[in-house]
Structure 1
């Protein structure tokens, strides 16, 4: 049996330490215990989301269960979702975490977007997909990098920064798609990027 500590901070994570979270492995079985704030990225350093076999939550404080949400999203939104994940928790302990996902979108196409961004020095735009939203159900609620570029051109902004890219998206492909319509500087939001305005 092996225990891997994903974090041990109480209450909230720090810049260098996730909250409570532990990966227990035995005979090929992976049990995630208390996936608190910021533990999911740490988990991904050791295994994939679909390789987790079960989750145990000791209680409902978010520093012990908040990252159950990104784990479930990574599994459920993958191209080949794995089987349902058994989650063991006290009654009601993870209700708030499970209620986070509602059928709402991030931006969605709208003629109001260029008007709202008009003349901005920097347009920070959602660009979940590169060229098209693959699901007709999601199309009214998400933008593409290509459409963000078109909106940036229409708004006459100085710079475009794409954000909210789907995990695994090649940032250079998103920039290229936006640049089809927008000839000014285009970038992608990444951790620790600083832009003077």
Structure 2
């Protein structure tokens, strides 16, 4: 598996950046995980919109889905220009029907609901879900292929269930929207200490901090998390690639 970070800002994209969006590739299958604001403009440096094979959505906050409509129109226009490609499946939960219905657009995209208590097969990937602690229904994902495991927390404050869910993962892509002196629980987000302690207890091989704040000195998030976790810690960065 190869993970490429396209956008990593929390809430909204910083100038010239993008909010949540990650490209996961394996066996020539291209899966986009979340599709926040600015993702389509940035993604085209890596892959054309019509070459995506599937999209997987954690929840329906705008910083995770704002560019779904843009993606739909990109594929529509490329079809007008003579390109041929199948309907794109967009997987999301069905606990917000108003938003879920928007995943289907003409014959361009098709919204497919995942059942959080069941394993979802998407191309070469096997995905299991965990409901997070966030103001709206949101699901973390454990994605496995070829004996490797990636865990993406999506948006959440820390919960003990994350430990077993993430046990031994090769990579933990963990939201970190707050610094150690801040309590993000009421907002449904983690701070740097939460992320580090989570990674250490789960015994993951590498920790990437994402969904980053727009203020403060971001390298401090690493130094703070490293007081709890002794493994490799990095900040998510634009076009950062990690192969598992």
**Under a length normalisation based on structure 1, what TM-score does the superposition of the two structures give?**
0.47
Bigger strand share: 2
